[in-house]
Amino acid sequence: MIEMRPQDIHACIVRIEGTNNEDEMYRAFKNVGATPHLVHLNELKTLDPYQCIMIPGGFSAGDYVRAGAIFASRIRSRLFDELLDFVDHGYPVGGICNGFQVLVELGLLPGDGEPGEVTACLAENDSARFECRHSLLLRTPSNPCAFTSRLPEGERLMVPSAHAEGKLLLAGGIRAYKRIEERGQVLFKYVNYANETEAPYPWNPNGSPHNIAGICNEKGNVFGMMPHPERAFDIENENGYAGRTLFESLIRYIGETF
């Protein structure tokens, strides 16, 4: 099997009115050699040309009703069955910040219910205000994930956070958090410089239980996180890892899988 060349990997960055991080995401894919496409949902007729679907951050449809809810509803009405097939075939689908909220509203994350069943939400920050600050993230032990395969467990990233609704609440309560931990679905946790994974505010900017900052589905091809790696694409830590590493991981996954 011949591995796909990065330039042959077409990433669809889906936007609607109110999204505002699509340009940063476009540049991130461009800088790792892929071929990104900015596509408004109203113009997205089929997913066939793409090997990756990404939903960027922002305030889609003004975040009315709930953050990401209207964007998710519009996806359901247009392409949801095709999106489910896309995921079933192993293609990666990712969401950053508002995109994470959309994937939760679609029931694709944490993905432990029936197809399309919503089993979580990203609730209002404990501070009851918009939080804009750098967050220190710990790469936790998890399933092989399309977005983190090149980032070793235990590595830390300093990544900007900017959200008002980032507290991950799971419908099953304590058992649900234990389940996603045991299934290796937790990708990142907010930590302090002592690597304490229950570090309080402001290290955890939203009050998310167990300091969860990002998760994937059990298969590892659907992923979401609240902080913005596309805004930290060229920010390196002492080991050279940056937001770039996550996009490189994604391109490698696609190239080796399809």
Which are the catalytic amino acids? Answer: 97, 228, 230
Residue 98 to residues 69, 85, 151, 194, Cα–Cα distance (Å): 10, 23, 23, 29
Q: Are strands 212-216 and 222-225 parallel, antiparallel or unpaired?
A: antiparallel
Alpha carbon distance 168, 212 (integer Å)? 7
Q: Please tell me the distance from the alpha carbon of residue 18 to that of residue 196, in angstroms, as a whole number.
A: 35
